[in-house]
Amino acid sequence: MTRSLRVVASLWALSFFCRTLPVAAKETAAYTRNVAVVVYEGVELLDFAGPGEVFGAASGFGRYKQQRAFNVYTVAVTKEPLTSRFVKIEPQYSIDDAPKPDVIVIPGGSTDALLDNPKFMAWLAKASEKAEITLTVCTGAFTLSKLGLLDGKQATTFYGALADLRAATPKATIIEGRRFIDNGSIITTAGVSAGIDGSLHTVARLLGRQVADRTAQYMEYRWTPEAYLSQNYPYLNPSLDEAGRRLQQAQNLEEEKNYPEAAKMYRAMTEADPKDGFAWYRLGTSLQAAGQLDAAIAAAKHATEFQEVRSDALFNIACAYALQGHADDAIRSLEQAVGAGFKAKWALRNDPDLASVRHDPRFQKLVASM
């Protein structure tokens, strides 16, 4: 698989909350944090969509092996459809059956729908107490104000609501002119697009500056964190153990196109743990990028022994065979990849590594069957 296709593949695999099915709490891996995005009738569109995009994209960029960094989902008082401006939303969960959130996002908008709902406020009080971070956007801050959770803290909100928040929260210091304010477990942001800044800051705190930067780059968002904050961001993902950070360093070398050094690191990982299927898979991709096709095929064949990477490894084997001009082996590996669950039809159609077999009737039949 070419580097450009590998980049696209990583983006294709990102789990954005409005396009995914609900994930039961018991199915969420230990590394993965649950991110509950609260929605309600009259919620401001970008207030929830902006953070949703950030956490959804960062879920892929912060992936550890096959575990997503975030499981992002919408939650409302009920599952009844609701409207955000001109967009109809069907909440994935109600507050009665939502997974326990590690991060809660409370967007602004017609927040009286939340403030005047005792059931929701009781849920928020309990959920925020146990959550790692509660992030409010715009007038979402008024929900935490009503619960007394801003008392003794600094906070901000939409510029047009600052005076009202001061009046509602006399024990808090309400600050204007800041995109977001971090109190540790509580982060408040200014209006609308500021939720993106607060969410990127949260990602940098939880997953490291590199993941936040890659997320902002993918979104083509001009993120310029304040120096006094950015100096405290870890570069590598602090959620990972030592082995995980070595893996991230190896992936960084791949991003820099230093494939031989990346392959050395992956090789060392497979020697330390021959049962590390993901390391075998990445070893294969880095060797292939370095032009060492026979070695790449050998590493990828090891990776096929592990179910979590089997289909992708078979696809990469097919690409290597196609580059070598071995059409029969390439087609056979593609058929095995699809049989193992490979579903990226666009990759078969567009990966330049497969150019030598693309007009083969067997290839065309396989693509048509997907």
The whole-number average pLDDT for the span 281-300 is: 97
**Per-residue pLDDT for 250 more than 80?**
yes
Contact assessment for residue 115 and residue 121, using Cβ atoms and an 8 Å cutoff: yes
State pLDDT tens for residues 76-128: 999 999 999 999 999 999 999 999 999 999 999 999 999 999 999 999 999 99
Confidence band, pLDDT 50/70/90 cuts, at residue 1 = low
How confident is the model over 133-164, as pLDDT tens digits?
999 999 999 999 999 999 999 999 999 999 99
Q: Looking at the domain that runs over 242-369, which CATH code has it been given?
A: 1.25.40.10
The pLDDT mean for the chain works out to 91
**Alpha carbons 365 and 20: distance in angstroms, whole number:** 29
The answer to whether 281 and 309 are in contact (CB under 8 A) is: yes
pLDDT of residue 2: 58
Q: Please say whether the beta carbons of 61 and 215 come within 8 A.
A: yes
CA–CA separation, 81 and 17 (whole Å): 16
- Delimiting residues of CATH 1.25.40.10 domain(s) in the chain: 242-369
For 220, residues 6+ apart whose C-beta sits below 8 A from its C-beta are none
Higher pLDDT, 64 or 295: 295
User: How large a percentage of the chain has pLDDT more than 90?
Assistant: 85
Whether pLDDT at 27 is above 90: no
Q: CATH 3.40.50.880: which residues of the chain?
A: 3-230
Look up residue 154 and give its DSSP letter.
E
Name the pTM for this structure.
0.81
Q: Are residues 203 and 55 in contact, defined by beta-carbon separation less than 8 angstroms?
A: yes
The CATH T-level fold of domain 3-230 is Rossmann fold (3.40.50)
Cα atoms in the 13 Å half-sphere on the side-chain side of 213: 10
